[in-house]
Amino acid sequence: MNDLPRIDRPKSHAAHERAKRVIPGGVNSPARAFGGVGGTPITIHRAEGPYLYDVDGNRYLDFIGSWGPMILGHGHPAVLDATIAAMKDGSSFGAPCEKETELAELVIDAMPSVEMVRFVSSGTEATMSAIRLARGYTGRDLIVKFAGCYHGHVDSLLVAAGSSALTLGVPNSPGIPKGCTQDTLILQYNDAAQLAEVFSAKGDAIAGVILEPVVGNMGLIPPSEEFRKELRRLTAKHGTLLIYDEVMTGFRLAYGGAQELFGDTPDLTCLGKIIGGGYPVGAYGGRRDILQKVMPAGPVFQAGTLSGNPVAMAAGIATLKELKTNPPYARLDAQSRRIGEGLLAAARDSGHAARFQRIGSMWTLFFAAAPITDYASAVASDKAKFARFFWAMMDRGVYLPCSQFEAAFTCGAMTDAHIDETIAAARDALASLIP
């Protein structure tokens, strides 16, 4: 049976051809290029609630949610009202405004490990600044990251990177001088023994360890308890800063992020996505004694024209207040669990080896038989079959992340009927795939 896209999307094709003439690859981020699934990226006209609408008038249930930010769904009234009001007061001042302090207080209230916070305009800026701060605070140079984890396009961290770097086969991008990565040690996620080995040899020279506390950028990979606890023990023992990159998991897995879910206390936390409610916001925060090293309080430099932008702050405040007042987490967890049960049953009935890995409303269907625990097992999954499944779901009105190495996100605007529709579409799609 033909697995290729069944629905023609002429306006998306034309829009993409036009974009390619003036924007590299026709996209402003390679994650949207459909490099992992082939075909032409879909151009979106608008979004509302749980839906995306493309320029050809097709409607899709949206499981990307802008790669995480849209946990409330698109166009939530509280966020709309807050941003429109903020815009009427002025879109950018280049001077402090109280919305920055208000959002900082909400973040600090949500995450006990965060005693102070600095806002930036992207997750990349957050991790870049956190790495600089770890080095400035400890006076050390070495940084540890894990193969397959993605922390944005920071030179020193764009090695063995996940997400679109992995999808498009450039986990080590050209253009990055050796000098930028010579102090970056790459270890394997979930390998506690290797951690102990490296720390016994170099622990006192390591400024920081940065990781996704739950990986979304290799597809969904949970950490083992042993790995998490060994990481905290060894970093504390050697005076190394433990940096949780919660750009994706923050306010997603729980109101207090993965660190609330696991009861962990990192030294620094990076945030993004949900704290901007769909607007460009990143943040890094943590222990007061560390953050007090950030300029102008201390000597570690970091700056940004639109950091703390009042409209973006208003969106973040409205989003976090809604999440705090009406926490969706139990419902998102139950809906995502149901999706997993439905997709696994459908894969089994259609003869496809599959694994569904999930924490809360972050999940991934891997076409693999064994558990996916690290970079090697993730890249061994059947990416070609995932690509065919992606298009089969697209043609049935369900928009999944366009790569095996991404997490899908359920959102608060989805009802049980939407989940039923998704499971039915997956059953039909999987039956259409050649085993």
Active site residues: 150, 245, 273
- Rounded (10°) angle between helices 416-432 and 383-394: 120
Closest CA to 233 of 201, 254, 209, 205: 209
Q: How big is the CA angle at 236 (ends 220 and 161), to the nearest 5 degrees?
A: 30
Question: Min. distance of Cβ 70 from ligand KE4 in angstroms?
Answer: 13
Q: Which amino acid is at 90?
A: G
User: Up-side HSE of residue 430: CA atoms within 13 Å toward CB?
Assistant: 22
Q: Which is nearer to ligand KE4, 216 or 328 (CB)?
A: 216
Min CB(300)–ligand KE4 separation in Å: 20
Minimum CB distance to ligand KE4, residue 57 (Å): 25
Order the strands of the 355-359 sheet from edge to edge. Answer: 355-359, 362-366, 408-409
Taking the complex as a whole, how short is the minimal distance between the CB of residue 405 and ligand KE4, in angstroms?
Answer: 8
Q: How many helices (H) and strands (E) does the chain have?
A: 15, 14
Chain CA centroid to CA 412, Å: 17
How many beta carbons lie within 10 A of that of residue 112, not counting itself? 11
Per the listing, tokens 């940004």 go with: 304
Task: For residue 304, give the 3-state DSSP assignment.
Answer: coil
Task: Tell me the H-state helices in 120-268.
Answer: 123-138, 163-167, 178-181, 192-202, 225-238, 257-262
User: 6 or 20, CB closer to ligand KE4?
Assistant: 20
Assigned token pair, 59: 């409607």
Binding site for ligand KE4 (CB under 6 A): 29, 31, 67, 122-124, 127, 150-152, 163-164, 212, 216-217, 245, 247-248, 272, 282, 406
CB nearer ligand KE4, residue 63 or residue 67:
67
In the complex, the smallest distance separating the C-beta of residue 251 from ligand KE4, rounded to whole angstroms, is: 13
CB 274 to ligand KE4: min, Å: 11
Q: Which is nearer to ligand KE4, 120 or 387 (CB)?
A: 120
- Minimum Å gap between C-beta 149 and ligand KE4 is 7
State which amino acid sits at residue 247: V
Residue type, 13: H
User: 219 vs 340, which CB is nearer to ligand KE4?
Assistant: 219
Strands 282-286 and 268-271: antiparallel
Burial (CB < 10 A; 0-12, 13-18, 19+), residue 17, is exposed
Residue 163 Cα distances to 16, 224, 389, 404, angstroms: 22, 21, 19, 9
Nearer to ligand KE4, 181 or 350 (CB): 181
State the Cα–Cα distance between residues 252 and 249, nearest whole angstrom.
5
Which of 375, 377, 378, 402 is closest to 388 using CA atoms? 402
Nearer to ligand KE4, 31 or 106 (CB): 31
